[in-house]
Amino acid sequence: MILIEFKSSSRNSMLKLPVYLKAYQTFNTMNTIKTAFTLLCFATLSINVMVGQEGHPLEGKWNLTIDQEGEELPSWLEIRHSGTNTLIGRFTYAFGSARPVAEIEKHGDLFSFKIPPQWEPGASNMEFEGKIVGDGLEGTMIYVDGKTYKWTATKSPILPFYDDVKEGKTIKLFNGKNLNGWKIKEGNQWAVIDGVLTSTKSGVNLISEEKFKDFKLHAEFRYPEGSNSGLYLRGRYEVQIADNIGLEASSIYFGGIYGLLSPSENVAMKAGEWQSFDITLIGRRVTIVANGKTIISNQNIDGMTGGALDNNEAEAGPIMIQGDHGPVEFRKLEITPLSKG
């Protein structure tokens, strides 16, 4: 309400009253419209953001099994939203590292995406198409050679973490004498030379007979110049061992969880020198101490890395030493099982 006092009854003063009221009413109406429009825009934006944040049924991490040439190849797919309508992701094939998926397109009940080749022998994209079936996914993959293969997927499991840790008895994975406790594959090049577990050339991987869930792993190793190897935790998550001295820290270099987790710094020493890893894995959380420095601390491993034996993540798995890349030596490999205290 506006109260106006009049000190004069002149014609001019009397005529000012409706002008002032109309101006005020017009100003008030415009403000009301502006406020309403602003609120409407904000509400619309909020609804869109909420819808985007609620997510799509495809969103999450998926463990894929690709039926390819008589083999069941473990792979991994992550799908998440970007903004309100776009789905993006990451994909790890049976080998190589996690690679970005620029867009996952939706076509009714179907979805599809393409990724360029990484280490695959060809120049064509890998093309995927799938749909939700029950609690999982299923679909097809057109490989770089044009052949089509079927695949299925299940949601990646939640792996529990705990702070109250109970240590079991330490086990020597390498006894310093022979290959007892390891699976010997055809074409094996691994041998014990002067008390050192040695792979002198590219050949086959070495897999422990015993399987483990949560543990502390201590490894002492060395490699020649330019070489490349790795330790697979539970047979699924590769910790990179490679001659990367002097390079910027990266998930694909020394001490990284290959293609997924980058170390805080590259602490690789010169080729030919003995180096060490102390690795703690509980659930998905990993801590890596390399050459006495903590380079990854309590970070979650999102999924399997390329070269994994399987993606049955809820199960115990072996320790696998990569032997199909370059020469490497180990003088000590010890593991301490962990459980909730």
Q: What DSSP element (H or E) covers 66? A: strand 60-68
Handedness of CA 182, 186, 189, 193 (dihedral sign): positive
- What gap in Å lies between CA 140 and CA 152, rounded to an integer? 9
Looking at residue 32, its pLDDT comes to 57
The pLDDT-based confidence of 108 (bands split at 50, 70, 90) is: confident
**In the predicted structure, residue 2 carries a pLDDT above the cut 80:** no
**In the predicted structure, residue 84 carries a pLDDT above the cut 90:** no
Span 228-245, mean pLDDT? 98
Identity of residue 326? G
CB 257 within 8 A of CB 243: no
Span 281-299, mean pLDDT? 98
Ramachandran quadrant class, 128 (left: phi over 0; alpha: psi -120 to 50; beta: rest): beta
The pLDDT-based confidence of 8 (bands split at 50, 70, 90) is: very low
Mean model confidence pLDDT for the chain: 89
CB 285 within 8 A of CB 299: yes
pLDDT digit string (tens) for 179-234? 999 999 999 999 999 999 999 999 999 999 999 999 999 999 999 999 999 999 99
Distance set, CA 154 to CA 33, 150, 157, 190 (Å): 51, 14, 9, 36
Looking at residue 35, its pLDDT comes to 55
Looking at residue 50, its pLDDT comes to 42
Q: What DSSP element (H or E) covers 320? A: strand 320-321
**In the predicted structure, residue 46 carries a pLDDT above the cut 60:** no
Span 282-288, mean pLDDT? 98
The residues, ordered by sequence, that sit 6+ positions from 214 with a Cβ below 8 Å of its Cβ are 281, 282, 283, 337, 338, 339
Looking at residue 297, its pLDDT comes to 98
The residues, ordered by sequence, that sit 6+ positions from 275 with a Cβ below 8 Å of its Cβ are 220, 221, 222, 268, 269, 290, 291
Looking at residue 148, its pLDDT comes to 98
Span 143-171, mean pLDDT? 97
**In the predicted structure, residue 28 carries a pLDDT above the cut 70:** no
Span 231-256, mean pLDDT? 98
Question: If you ran DSSP here, which 8-state letter would residue 261 be given?
Answer: B
**In the predicted structure, residue 7 carries a pLDDT above the cut 70:** no
Short-list 158, 165, 154, CA closest to 300: 158
For 116-259, strand residue ranges (E) read 126-133, 136-142, 148-155, 165-167, 171-172, 182-183, 190-193, 196-199, 206-208, 214-222, 228-233, 237-242
The pLDDT-based confidence of 37 (bands split at 50, 70, 90) is: low
Looking at residue 33, its pLDDT comes to 53
The tokens of 111 are what?
Answer: 């979805």
The pLDDT-based confidence of 78 (bands split at 50, 70, 90) is: very high
The residues, ordered by sequence, that sit 6+ positions from 147 with a Cβ below 8 Å of its Cβ are none
Looking at residue 29, its pLDDT comes to 54
Short-list 223, 219, 221, CA closest to 289: 219
* Reported pTM: 0.84
